[in-house]
Chains A and B, each alone.
Chain A
């Protein structure tokens, strides 16, 4: 899911802790802030910290002065062939090509398993907003091809596309049949998206609070952080990519439930909106003598179901004679693009 959905889910979990509301009413926002922060923290650890320390076996760093798709193809093929020769997991880094302050050369890497080749094509020059500059797509039509010794099986459909800012990492995981699985962003959700990490961070909080003589706040924070961090992991498990749930006791990602893609609009919106409803409900429950009385179902009806039905009714009326475009992407690619294009 997107960062904001996780963030709001964390705040919603925090609102279920009575001490969060009590502290907030006394002017102390710390538990709600902690809830939101822990909600987004697993992605923060990956995208803001870990990826800069993740070592690669092969770095593909194209020269922006002499653009040559063949050089890129040769390097990617070298990575695959290194994996074949050494029978091990290979980490391949594809770097972006910056042409100017606001311009980037896009390129794609595909694996043609029929011909046992890696194919590299240059796309258009894009600006930092990932918008192609008109007329640049046709300028460099050279294609780079290099032979690979094994097939590379992509776990999702799209090509490896490199354009703005940081380029992606591809992990080449050896299969029993001698070929390789291509893992997109292998450093993502490797250890950060584990329920145990949330508990561990909560223990650090408890230790810190105890050192400052406030163990009760420490225990409250431990419970809250475990829950808020955990909700991120659980939400991500609804998607495709899955997480390594009990690191360091488990070593591999458990595949997700495939119920949604992390960039899908509706699940993200529902996560945010239902979180808001729960927060509102918990605040209402905590009031001593509310002037207005309503139940949770009534709140859901007014805030979600009725407007949702009206919205979908209107949408059906407006789109019944036309198809609507649904852009699909992979979980990891979604999060990667979301990170890069974040305002």
Chain B
């Protein structure tokens, strides 16, 4: 079989496999890719080739992994919007997504986000890919010594830009001030507690070394996905009957403006270390000041796609030598890209997988909506929570469940006090910013984690 067909079939296989995984709440594609990498390393180490040894060929697993990342970043919209179980990068799609759901328009909300992802695919293939080899090495040279303070100013903005939500009634004075600041102080506490947890997990992770790929996964699940599920189970109103539609209330202008804001946010998050899609989306939302909710939700679709896929693609950009995102790090353990041909193969794979993934969004969203229509939303959320817990246990065992439980405690703080959930990202931002500025070791020493 020619390399073309091998690559094409691998992309499609990776895409279809990922499509199923993406619809399961709480399961991140990086968890599956981590398992895949371990499997390939095991196959490679076998003394005699077996039937599955073809999987160890780069022209099989690299396009397949590309397809997995692309499909997941597009199709994971379905559980984020319809089941309210986002990963961190989809954090901002949940509230507007649930508005659509509560108005019986969950399908429309999902499809608008998916159109954003498709637009993100066009942005990656037609804008990022042609210009990245020429301009990114320049920016890399200028910014390479400055990433640490960029992280610090992001932290500063996240903490300073949260506004008080209390103190709404009563006479002026300290009582009103403290009532208002309750939520803000909880937000800061959430950030610091997440940061402390990050220091522990990054320096003394109790998760076994054989699943070291996943040492932060239980914490992320606990911080972001589990609190949504619990909130849905405890407080969710009954979801009204859902209707599907053949057309969406969007036009070219909305798509263009979504690409503008989402591409900016996702691109920034893809390029900067540790900055996630959620942070990129937040910054881009503030920068572009869009008032239209459709642009916001579609922009989040663009941002998430560009963040995941763009970061993965950076590994292959000729002359850049930049590894960003879990997917790229995992591929790098198996294969080092060496030529423009690799880059073109990846860009082509993104295009093919983006198209196939988009075609699968509608049927899978309809299927999920049937599930929601048939069962009580609380039961669906309970099922989602069970899947998440099972996943954490299967990959990281009891210790992973313990980490997830502690993280859930932290992740529930913003839910209970109405503060910003993004503060949970202190888990990565704080330890990494400290490390990059050169005083992470001192803090680790103070914490007794040496």
- The answer to whether A and B come from one shared complex is yes
Bound complex: CA A324 to CA B292 (Å): 12
Q: Are the C-beta atoms of B285 and A165 separated by less than 8 Å?
A: no
Interface: B1 (CB within 8 A): no
With contacts A3-B286, A101-B235, A318-B256 taken as known, whether A24 is within 8 angstroms of B146 at the C-beta atoms is yes
A339 interface residue per 8 A CB criterion:
yes
List B contacts of A295 (CB < 8 A): none
Tell whether B168 is near chain A: CB-to-CB under 8 Å: yes
Instruction: Pick the contact of B142: A37, A166, A284, A340 (CB < 8 A).
Output: A284
Does A166 lie within 8 Å of B92, measured CB to CB?
A: no
8 A-B pairs within 8 Å (CB atoms) are namely: A29-B152, A59-B171, A95-B168, A96-B169, A134-B103, A284-B142, A287-B142, A318-B253
Does B439 contact A311, Cβ atoms closer than 8 Å? no
* Contact residues on A (Cβ < 8 Å of other chain), bracket: 35 or more
CB proximity to B under 8 Å, residues A33-57: 33, 36-37, 40, 44, 47-49, 52-56
Q: How long is the Cα–Cα vector from A11 to B149 in the complex, in angstroms? A: 11
Closest A residue to B433 by beta carbon equals A29
Q: Mark A204-238, 1 if CB is under 8 A from B, else 0.
A: 00000000000000000000000000000000000
Which residues of B are interface residues toward A (Cβ below 8 A)? 92, 95-96, 99, 103, 135, 137-139, 141-143, 145-146, 148-149, 152-153, 156-157, 160-165, 167-169, 171-173, 176-177, 180-181, 184, 235, 251-253, 256, 260, 282-283, 285-292, 420, 422, 437-439
Residues of A within 8 A of B152 (CB): 29, 32-33
Q: Which of A66-74, A172-180, A261-269 contacts the other chain?
A: A261-269
Once the chains bind, are A283 and B290 in contact (CB under 8 Å)? no
Partner of B288, one of A96, A134, A269, A302: A269
Asked whether A40 and B286 contact (CB < 8 A) given A24-B149, A129-B96, the answer is no
Among A29, A56, A294, contact of B148 (Cβ-Cβ < 8 Å)? A29
| Partner of A25 from B137, B145, B157, B177 at Cβ < 8 Å | B145
Question: Which residues of B have CB within 8 Å of A263?
Answer: 289, 291
In contact, B168 and A280 (Cβ under 8 angstroms) = no
Contact, CB under 8 Å: B172 / A4:
no
Q: Are A339 and B163 in contact (CB under 8 A)?
A: yes
Q: How far is the CB of B138 from chain A (nearest CB, A)?
A: 5
Residues in A whose Cβ lies below 8 Å from that of B149: 24, 29, 32-33
**Interchain CB contact under 8 A, A27 and B288:** no
Q: Is the CB of A268 within 8 A of B439?
A: no
Question: Are the C-beta atoms of A131 and B99 separated by less than 8 Å?
Answer: yes
Closest to B436 in A: A27
Query: Which chain B positions have C-beta within 8 A of A24?
Result: 145-146, 148-149
Residues of A within 8 A of B167 (CB): 52, 166
Q: Judging by beta carbons under 8 Å apart, are A27 and B148 in contact? A: yes
Would you give the shortest CB distance from A82 to chain B, in whole angstroms? 17
A302 to B135, CA, bound (A): 9
Q: Is A249's beta carbon under 8 Å from chain B?
A: no
Please name all residues of chain B whose beta carbon is closer than 8 Å to the beta carbon of A315 when the two chains form the complex: 253, 256
Taking a contact as CB atoms under 8 Å apart, the answer to whether A319 and B252 are in contact is: yes
Chain A residues with CB below 8 A from B146, complex form: 24-25, 283
Q: Which residues of B sit under 8 angstroms from A268, Cβ to Cβ? A: 287-289
Q: A36-B157, A318-B252, A342-B163 are in contact. Are A54 and B99 (CB under 8 A)?
A: no
Residues in A whose Cβ lies below 8 Å from that of B177: 49, 52-53
- A3–B169 touching, CB < 8 Å: no
